Amino acid sequence: MESFDDKVAVVTGGASGIGRGIALELARRGAHIVVADLHEQRLTAVVEELREIGAQALGSRCDVTSDEDVEQLQAAVIERFGRVDLLCNNAGVAVIGPPETVAMADWEWALQVNVLGIVRGVRAFVPGMLERGSGYVLNTASIAGVWAYTWDAAAYITSKFAAYGLSEVLARRLRPHGIGVSVLCPGLVSTNLGETARASGIPQGVDWMYFPPEIADAVEPEQVGVQVAEGILTGQFAIFTHERDAQHYKSWRLDIDASLDAIIGTQKTPPGFLEMRDTEMTVD
């Protein structure tokens, strides 16, 4: 993609956080924006922001776990703009908790949003791109999609590995047909993801959630929007928000046994977990 002028971009999860940052930056660069989100108040607010920039903007309430909602989103976009040039599958959720006790409902929720939400977006919008022989797909994964940065976010990491793998598949499938593909792998970003995050299967009284020091410095969503726009214009496949993550991406699997041994040797256990592992578990 050489520029965003007069391009039509769909951004799921676009009413806040990274999605909002992407939508605003694309609008500044001349794109028409469709924002899809569940939070209707924020949806209205970001559409107003986009229009103040001068973009043509459409807001659509959409649950990416619903086939019907995504189909309605596709119909609304085609009715308004006639095509989609850039699909940003960005909607995402987080679940924390040890892999052996996270509730099945929380596993299913994470996979429905973070993986099948992307699949629904692809099914809705990529056929039109293939017919035209042009377009671009951006999927939001995470650094959690290229290495397991911790052991207490099993459902989240599993879903993001799937999002990353699907992105590689799409690159192999779509690039020969003139359609670009990128995968966004953010580190820590200042967003409201924690509002909907679920803690599942965690012992009562345990101080949970360990962020390794190497992912402790957050960047702002507006900065991520710039990084995404530049990555799309240059056709970069894996877009990282932190340079050290880009370097880690290159080295992690050169010797996976050594990498795992090193990180396991330095990881922390949430206080009291080993002592409390046989006590009653609570699931939100």
Q: Report the alpha-carbon distance of residue 101 to residue 278 in Å, rounded.
A: 11
Cα-Cα-Cα-Cα dihedral of 127, 128, 133, 135, to 10°? -100
Return the axis-axis angle of helices 17-28 and 221-234, rounded to nearest 10°: 60
Tokens for 33, please give them.
């924006």
CA distances to 189, 203, 261 from 274, rounded to whole Å, are 30, 10, 20
210 is catalytic: no
Contact 137, 126 (CB under 8 A): yes
Q: Report the alpha-carbon distance of residue 187 to residue 41 in Å, rounded.
A: 27
Q: Report the alpha-carbon distance of residue 110 to residue 225 in Å, rounded.
A: 24
| Paired residues of 135 in beta bridges | 179
Of 136, 156, 210, 249, the active-site residue reads 156
- What residues are labeled active site? 156
